[in-house]
Amino acid sequence: MVYYPREEQRDVLYTLSSLSIWMIPVFAFIAFLAQSGASIAVIKLWPASAEGVVTSVTTMKNNSSLELYEYSFSTPDGDHFTGSAEQYRQPSQPAHSVGQSIEVMYSPLHAGFYVPREIYEGSRMNFLVFSFCILAIVLLLAVSVYALVRQCSHAREDLHY
């Protein structure tokens, strides 16, 4: 078999394109697992806060450190929202109570994205993982398109050899 350097270049481009395409679903799945990172990312673009009120609290029977609570708040624009959140707490921390005021972070760009401040502050890692995965997906798409364009130009050049 005769060594043909152009064939090696074509193989490298094909491998680069294939690997980058196959890695996109992996990063998309990881981004999906950090789905609260998407909400945090939208809120971080233009954060605003509003005063909310806890409307109901449910403590899990088998797990006293987990409580589910519902809250409602209004934005300065007059929009009214209700949401729910779960809070893992230490036994020494007080539980939420009905009527308690909480601070809610939301995005004025799209008011459908909102979370209580305590969850917003604790979601830094989800935000970083989500942002890294989206950046990796965009980078892998760019690499794949580059490799595919190079493969096409490589094939056109092979006509002259």
Band of pLDDT at residue 30, cut at 50, 70 and 90? very high
Q: Where are the domains of the chain?
A: 1-44+114-161, 48-106
Q: Does the pLDDT of residue 126 top 90, yes or no?
A: no
The gap from C-alpha 50 to its chain's centroid, in whole angstroms, comes to: 23
Token digits for 7?
């064939």
For the stretch 11-24, pLDDT in tens is: 888 999 999 999 99
pLDDT at 137: 97
Considering the entire predicted model, what is its pTM? 0.73
pLDDT at 22: 95
pLDDT at 71: 92
Q: Which residue has the higher pLDDT, 94 or 146?
A: 146
